Chains A and B, each alone.
Chain A
Amino acid sequence: MNRRHALHTVAGLLVSAAWTLSASAETKIAQEIEVGLQSVDLNNPEAKFQEYKDVPQGLFIESYTLDVDAPKYDLSLDAKSITEEDRSATLSYDRGGKLWLNAGWDQTPHRWSETSRTLFHETDPGVYELPDEIQDFFQTNTGDVNWWNNIDGYLDDAHEEKLASRRDKASLGLGGMISDGLSLKVNFSHEKKSGRQLTPVALGRNFALEIARELDETVYDSGVALGYATKGMDLGLSYGLNVYENDTDSLTWDNFKRTTDQVGSSQTGTGSAQGRAAMTPDNLAHMARLTAGLDLPGKTRFNADINYTRMEQNEKILPYSINTAFTTAAGFDASNPANLPSERAETNQTLWVQDYRVANRASRFLSVGLKARWEQLGNHSKEMTFDGHTTLDQSWSTPDESTHRFTYQKNTLGGYVDANIMKGLIAGVDYDHETINRTHREYRKTEESTVVGRVNYSPNSWFNFRQKVTWANRDAKGFEVSDFMSSTSTFSENPGLRRYDIAARVRKGEDLEIQFMKGPFSIGWNSAYIHDEYKPGEGNLYNPLVAISASNQNKQYGLLENKVANSGIDLGLELADNIGIFASYQYSLVRGIQRQNQNNVSPYSVAQDTNEDYTVETKERYNTFGFGLDTRITEKVNMSLGYDLAHSLGTIDYTSLGTTIGDKQSVPETVSSKQDYKIRGEYKATKTLSLSLGYLFELYNVKDFAQDNVPLATGENITPTPQTNILLGDSSQDYKAHVVTLMAKYKF
């Protein structure tokens, strides 16, 4: 507990004490404080252990609650993790539902790495520089081999830079009843995000870098809402403004290899002295909403919900490149912002969403409903044409690059019929038809019809049966292959590619849940299954400029099939009045099959060459298991035992490879496993004091070929082009943690 934490704690307790002392005799006050002493032994400094929380070492205050029950009002203060970095507190005041106030404070840490190191020093916000001698040395000693052979000598100078952020949020809400049925609410929050986060950057396709970027972001959120409710009718009208500010507009970083600019290689990054990227811009959103609910005659309920959102940002646009050496290639000074088509972004988008729903229960045996939803996203940004662009700040490409406005409109019409066959038994059918029109994707129009059949059977309080069967068919229309391919361009889309989020598809699904809870015994079974099969839809699968042959196959590429299956069981048993056990197990399998075509042999072509086809099968298997035992040994002593397992396994296998890539081997499997062993004993010393002693053993294992062995410099083994990647070394690590906790809870 540091000094600042202690001051906050004392201040909070003083406020509580002052309130307590000023309370009248009729006021009932209840307080509870929980204090702990904890020993933590972590064998590896792995950030995952405290990813979103704090596990304190030594003395800590876990919680404090104050409940004031006065004749005319209620007041409560609920503070958690008071001396820890993930602390939060909520103060609530309620004057009989006529006037209420909520104030809150919340800190949420997010830790990524405790071991990362970097050679970069932040000299100004968003500017990351290297020691001059590094750049001078490599510029003098040019050549990729020299560069790689000598970088190791500098890595010892890298300094530690932990990767972690924290969101601090203060919020205030005030509401009250203006008159009978009419309420007004206002809210405001201020959120600050600070810390350091891994940000990948590149100066060449074989020259990847990672920066420990400083975060300095602020969010202001405010809103006002009017509500009116009377018998059979309610209305709501609200407005909200959300403002996001990022104090780092751009990210600038030094090139290890150069100290002066030149036109260079976008493969190896030998040109610019620095690189520069745009960071997320300041932006804001206005949100307005109107809701209405009305009981109509004939046991009919009507609901309307109309939302309007306007999102906009107008950040200054960075120059074409930070590299000053493009004047000849570009025909103008690409580093001068005056040569941009616009000084500012001038972007805005609007979103209209309207929902209408009618539900009718005119008959005790039949319920029907209709719904309509219109969702329209419109981009109204300034359209710009840029006179070429830079490739990773190394080279200049001359074709114009233009931005375009777009619209996306999703309309859904649907309805349902539910039959109340007998008490507790409902059988129903839903039908939805969704139409999407868009101006900016390969498929301009998709239509999907979904039919859902469902049965719910709950005849009593101890048995539940729920089953749902889904069938959906999505048609994709208007594929414009010519917009995305060319027989001459070296960067062209495979014409047979169908992007899974817009491709034609048949979906079949089923959900089943059965629960039985009777006497000392409870058992629950659940399962869910979804199978998506993707289809070509309308449009060419081949390059129409080349006749169909072995090198132009008329095949569909992309995700072909996806399956998700879940099943699980829960068991609970009260062995005796003082002993209860429970266990749960869940299994999930996610399986996808995607067909690709490599197309990377020069001369590049969009023709589909059988020899370069390959199929990838991805699988993720998830197992979660939990077991617990609670026992009351005596009237004053309780004990609990627990075990939790969360295990996941990912495999990526090449199941079919063309002849030119037949020697490719599947990548290694990835594994993540967390096991918690817990034991806790509680002793209720008095009516107001209880003590507990707990022990947690947490075991975390990770195997990830991309994340679990990240050095500071890597890639040297690739030939013929040396890979020259300077990373932060934030490897995922296994860890073991032993946590012993003594807690005291006191009520007063």
Chain B
Amino acid sequence: MKKLLTRISHTIFSLSLAGAIGFALSANRSLSAEMGASSMGQEKAEFVGAETCAACHQDEVEAFKGAKHGKALLKSKGVEFTQSCETCHGAGSLHSNAGGDKAAPGFASLTIFKKLTPTEVSNACLECHKDSERSHWSGGPHDRANVSCTACHSVHNAKGHGELVKKNTSETCYQCHKNVKGEMRRSAHMPVEEGKMDCSSCHDMHGTSTPKQLKAANTNQLCYQCHQDKRGPFVWDHMPVRENCSNCHHPHGSHYDKMLLAKQPFLCQKCHAYTRHPGTVRDAADVTNQSSYIFGQSCYQCHSNIHGSNHPAGKALTR
């Protein structure tokens, strides 16, 4: 009951906090509505249709016919192709009337995405794509880092699935996360490098409530999505394992077997310096002699149920 009351109080606190901030501020329009108006609001311009656009931008219009957005607008929104350019760029009569004269006042009346701030670009996209999958975008790490939708997706020149600007998800992410690209190559052939996984297997770039934008409630729940055998719960749990898989593993890649943070037994000895064998120095002589304390599977040789054991003698995770 106490826990339930705690949870309820947390909920009430958070809702109150949100409400207080919201109502204390006086603006009338929502964030998305405001951004939508700023990106598309062309009060005096009128719609002219894609045929007019094609007079100057024939290549773009032709390519757009085969692009996903060019086709999806009709099927999902009932927008005829002729209206599709102006759905995002705004009504084009003033722009077309300028006749290519960049100095003419109407020339710049269209919404040119390259000239918008990242937030404005994203809000324009969210006019159609705002649902529970992108619910956490606003105020999320990418939004705050000046990353817009068009940093990763391209309506006109997509190269990969999902209208990505690169051939696959990981390459798209590596545009900025270059150190992660290096980490992924630490383990020679690993699933991400082989295309069997990608960054989006674990992370939701559109935002989640979890740190690191993980696609699960926490790190362990994410790992259990593929490694259900580590989930337990076991009769004997290894407590640091229960708390966080990344206490011992580096999921992006490591120099060591099983993507461990350090080589055994040195990894284990960071926490286990008990009397007798756990704290003993294992040195070059042990290597020469191929002692099982350091050779082969090392600590894991005996403590083979290191993630947890269901055996009556499993306290030391050996059975």
Contact = CB atoms under 8 A, between A and B. Distances in A.
Given A373-B209, A392-B302, A616 B178 contact: no
B26 to A, nearest CB: 7
Given A244-B231, A359-B138, A596-B273, A700 B289 contact: no
A497 interface: yes
B200 interface: no
A303 B135 contact: yes
Given A416-B144, A622-B255, A299 B273 contact: no
A27 to B, nearest CB: 12
Given A408-B243, A513-B176, 4 more contacts: A97-B72, A297-B28, A391-B313, A667-B283
A717 B183 CA distance: 38
A426 to B, nearest CB: 6
Nearest to A211: B304
Interface string A176-214: 000000010000000000000011111001101010000
A389 B21 contact: no
28 contacts: A52-B194, A95-B75, A96-B72, A198-B297, A200-B301, A202-B301, A208-B297, A231-B32, A278-B314, A287-B221, A299-B29, A300-B21, A305-B209, A307-B217, A313-B310, A348-B233, A352-B7, A356-B18, A367-B144, A377-B243, A389-B312, A440-B239, A501-B243, A599-B273, A652-B266, A667-B282, A717-B290, A723-B291
A347 B208 CA distance: 30
B18 A492 contact: no
B292 to A, nearest CB: 4
A646 interface: yes
A507 interface: no
Contacts of A362: 25, 27
A739 to B, nearest CB: 13
A300 B209 contact: no
A570 B176 CA distance: 11
A210 B297 contact: yes
Given A301-B138, A428-B144, A594-B269, A52 B179 contact: no
Nearest to B297: A200
A490 B276 contact: yes
Contacts of A206: 292
Nearest to B216: A307
Interface residues of B, number: 129
Interface residues of A, number: 201
Contacts of B301: 200, 202, 208
Name the prevailing secondary structure of the B interface residues: loop
Which of A277, A524, A566, A717 gathers the greatest number of chain B CB atoms within 10 Å? A277
A48 B254 CA distance: 15
Interface in B272-299: 273-277, 279-292, 294-298
Contacts of B240: 499, 501
Contact of A349 (B13, B233, B239, B289): B233
Interface in B51-76: 71-72, 75-76
Interface stretch (B39-47, B87-95, B97-105, B184-192): B184-192
Interface string A721-743: 00101010000000000000000
B182 A568 contact: yes
Contacts of B75: 72-74, 95-97
A212 to B, nearest CB: 14
A299 B30 contact: yes
B157 interface: no
A718 B183 CA distance: 38
Interface string B2-27: 01000100110111011101111111
A114 interface: no
Contact of B229 (A280, A304, A359, A606): A280
Given A244-B228, A715-B290, A379 B302 contact: no
A370 B305 contact: no
B181 interface: yes
Interface in A604-634: 604-606, 614, 616, 618, 620, 622, 624
Interface stretch (A154-162, A471-479, A658-666, A683-691): A658-666
A396 B234 CA distance: 22
A379 B281 CA distance: 36
Contact of A715 (B71, B181, B244, B289): B289
A73 B71 CA distance: 10
B34 A347 contact: no
B135 A426 contact: no
A717 B291 CA distance: 9
A23 to B, nearest CB: 16
Interface string A561-600: 0000010101000000000000010111000101011111
A219 B130 CA distance: 33
Nearest to B113: A461
Nearest to B308: A280
Given A242-B228, A372-B10, A705-B295, A592 B262 contact: yes
A385 B282 CA distance: 35
A235 interface: yes
B275 A600 contact: yes
A519 interface: no
Which of A309, A706, A717 gathers the greatest number of chain B CB atoms within 10 Å? A706
Nearest to B243: A408
Which 4 A-B pairs give the minimum distances between C-beta atoms? A359-B139, A298-B25, A296-B22, A586-B182
A227 B294 contact: no
A324 interface: no
Contacts of A513: 176, 178
B309 to A, nearest CB: 6
Contacts of A340: 312
B80 interface: no
A153 B243 CA distance: 47
